[in-house]
A = this chain, B = another copy of it.
């Protein structure tokens, strides 16, 4: 069994490790525009050797885990190079542009569009970990466009590595993920920026920061490459979510400036039900 992983970062690397655990006999090849990543992934034992796009004709599986804007660019070329029995799946955090890019490709049936909702704030091959996807949601888009036999094999793999499958159309996926994932990253990055700007000359101040700040700002450690690419691909939805977030913050500031403490209390109490909603998210 030959597996080609394109993009050897946190997600591609972690998928490679899980595939290797499930199929110890698999040969895992790596493709990455960054030669250092290929070298690092090889020395970490994530892949056994480097490959090129033209090798994909030999692939049983192709995993595409480059930044999302490159997935849409690269995917037609990948589908041009595979064999009839190759299964290609991506792991991009946006889905509409990717699905659109291959909608009329003759090998569309070899492709599964997916988004595993898993990750950490770290990046690169050294961030790859075994078991990252265990218990996590995997959203599959336009499943009906994938050949049934390939679907079956792919689902068996996704189940084996512990993912819970959800089906969704790509437009809905991109709308909702802007709120439950992409917006959090902006809120966290800008929180980090605001505090750093204020406290730039006062290093001691960070002694005052507790676990609450650490938790809220955690995502500000994330990769700018990954996230600039996601915001590019999901611009309209992210801008709308951000607009609503800013409006809510402005409203809260109005309550504060007007000394309307009951109003602030109500805002916070109404939001406390996030407790119940979060039950089940680890």
Interface residues of A (CB under 8 A from B): 117-119, 121, 136-137, 139, 164, 166, 173, 176-177, 179-181, 183-199, 202, 204-222, 224-225, 227-229, 231-232, 235, 238-239, 241-246, 248-250, 252-253, 256-257, 259, 261-262, 264-275, 277-278, 280-282
Contact = CB atoms under 8 A, between A and B. Distances in A.
Given A228-B264, A242-B252, 16 more contacts: A119-B211, A166-B207, A176-B208, A180-B209, A180-B213, A181-B209, A184-B217, A189-B267, A190-B245, A190-B271, A192-B274, A213-B281, A228-B261, A228-B262, A239-B256, A246-B250
A252 B193 CA distance: 11
A214 to B, nearest CB: 5
B196 A181 contact: no
A228 B217 CA distance: 22
B117 A245 contact: no
A225 B211 CA distance: 20
A181 B214 CA distance: 10
A193 B270 contact: yes
Given A117-B208, A189-B268, A190-B249, A214 B183 contact: no
Given A264-B231, A271-B189, A210 B119 contact: yes
B261 A217 contact: no
A220 B277 CA distance: 12
Contact of A139 (B193, B208, B218, B219): B208
Contact of A239 (B214, B243, B253, B261): B253
A276 to B, nearest CB: 10
Given A242-B252, A248-B190, A184 B196 contact: no
Given A184-B217, A208-B181, A228 B268 contact: yes
Which of A183, A211, A222 has the most C-beta atoms of chain B within 10 angstroms of its own C-beta? A211
A154 B231 CA distance: 51
B183 A191 contact: yes
Contact of A197 (B235, B244, B268): B244
A253 B246 CA distance: 10
Nearest to A227: B268
B196 A273 contact: yes
**Highest count of chain B CB atoms <10 Å: which of A187, A212, A219, A273:** A212
